Amino acid sequence: MGKPVRQFQIISKSPAETARFYSNLFGWTVNSDNPLGYREINTGSVDGIQGGIWPAPPQAANFVQLFTAVDDVQACVKHAQELGAQLIIPPTALPGGVELAVMHDPQGMSFGVMKTG
Amino acid sequence: MWASSILQVMSRFAFRDWLSQELEKRRLVNPRYSLRAFAALLGTDHSTVSQVLRGKRRVPVAVLRRWGKRLGLAAEEVAAYVAMEHVPDALITKRQEELRHWTAEALAIMKDQTHWQIVRISQMPGFRPDCRWIAKQLGVSVDDVNVSLSRLLRLRLLKIERPRQWKVFVGRGTVSEAEFHKCALIRVRQLAADCGVTLGRINRKAASERSTIPWVSQ
């Protein structure tokens, strides 16, 4: 029940350096051995949520996105747009069974929704 | 104490609003206090003050400092008004950011072959929807593939509806690199227009040789 925040994502212009920094600081393990080459972060704790690092385009600043778990990504995107959200990445099926979409809320802040399995 | 007056200054928004209040304060004391008298106090003519109060004329920094001093503003308050008078309009700033964003998207499409190569390779037999494999085939880093892949998805030039099915929205059948660029730039203009940003036609040859997009006025 509910719509939990499932994952954080650091969008970084220097993803390798970002991975190194947080690994050194917090002892997080970063693994990119997956079909997307996505830097998956394991915080080493069952508390909180896990995350990942994605490379930022040159014109963007570094920022953090939160991905909320939903039952139906398409329906959520439609609802969000009715509420004034702007679609940035349309619903996309990633290898491994994850479906996600990225939007800007009406105030321009980036957020994601995802469905696993 | 000066910090609280700074906060008061920030809440008044514009110097001319404060100037208008100073004139009214004097008129409350003396209903016959004239605009000419106020202008004389400021060391200028009444026409200039009138235009400033009506928002028809901006106040140069040097003049703002001089008038502020004559009316007893603290140095910190003057500095705050100077800063506020020169803060770009929020709407203009937003438009400039949007223009920069869409220009950067178009420039990236034009100058980085990875976008075209991903589109091309995704339609070939034996394609593996694995960014590590794609990076190896193209001789670029996985991060380069992912930056380009994200852009293709943002621009709706590529769609991944199922993990092994990458659908390309660029022309019909096999397209050339030039056709890809043309379609991509049209898409950039469409999406920019959806955000209220009008982009003209692009001189593609010039863009590929320069570091900025020479948008051609329509």
> Each residue of B142-174: pLDDT tens digit?
999 999 999 999 999 999 988 788 888 876 666
Please count the residues of chain B. Answer: 218
The continuous run of DSSP H or E covering B183 comes out as helix B177-194
* C-alpha–C-alpha distance, residues B58 and B61, integer Å: 9
ipTM of model: 0.93
Q: What is the pLDDT of residue A94?
A: 86
* C-alpha–C-alpha distance, residues A62 and A102, integer Å: 16
B88 near A CB under 8 A = no
* C-alpha–C-alpha distance, residues B158 and A82, integer Å: 24
Instruction: For residue B151, give the chain A residue with the closest CA.
Output: A57
Indicate the residue of A16, A55, A94 with minimum beta-carbon distance to B147.
A55
Q: What's the gap in Å between the CA of B99 and the closest CA on chain A?
A: 11
B104 near A CB under 8 A = yes
Token look-up 């950011």 returns: B97
Please, is B20 exposed, middle or buried when counting C-beta atoms within 10 Å of its C-beta (0-12, 13-18, 19+)? middle
Say whether A47 sits in a helix, a strand or coil. Answer: coil
- pLDDT tens for chain A, 117 residues: list them: 789 999 999 999 999 999 999 999 999 999 999 999 999 999 999 999 999 999 998 888 899 999 999 999 999 999 999 999 999 999 999 877 899 999 999 999 999 999 986
Nearest Cα residue to A100 out of B204, B161, B125, B118: B161
Nearest Cα residue to B106 out of B6, B206, B1: B206
Residue A67, strand partner residues: A7, A112
Query: Using 50, 70 and 90 to split pLDDT, how confident is the model at B97?
Result: confident
> Within its chain, how far is the Cα of A84 from the centroid?
21
Q: Which residues of chain B have a CB within 8 Å of the CB of A16?
A: 143
Say whether B155 sits in a helix, a strand or coil. Answer: coil
Q: Which residues of chain A have a CB within 8 Å of the CB of B142?
A: 32, 37
Q: Which of A17-31, B17-31, B154-168, B203-217 has the lowest mean pLDDT?
A: B203-217
Cβ(B181)–Cβ(B109) below 8 Å: yes
* C-alpha–C-alpha distance, residues B2 and A38, integer Å: 51
Nearest Cα residue to B116 out of B182, B62, B52, B26: B182
% of chain B beyond a pLDDT of 70:
82
Residue A100, strand partner residues: A92, A114
* C-alpha–C-alpha distance, residues B42 and B69, integer Å: 9
Nearest Cα residue to B68 out of B105, B18, B6: B18
B167 near A CB under 8 A = no
Q: What is the pLDDT of residue B100?
A: 87
Q: What is the pLDDT of residue B8?
A: 52
Q: What is the pLDDT of residue B216?
A: 32
Answer whether 0.95 is exceeded by the pTM.
Answer: no
* C-alpha–C-alpha distance, residues B10 and B28, integer Å: 24
Cβ(B214)–Cβ(B207) below 8 Å: yes
Query: Using 50, 70 and 90 to split pLDDT, how confident is the model at B214?
Result: very low
Indicate the residue of A37, A86, A90 with minimum beta-carbon distance to B153.
A90
Q: What is the pLDDT of residue B205?
A: 55
Q: What is the pLDDT of residue B204?
A: 52
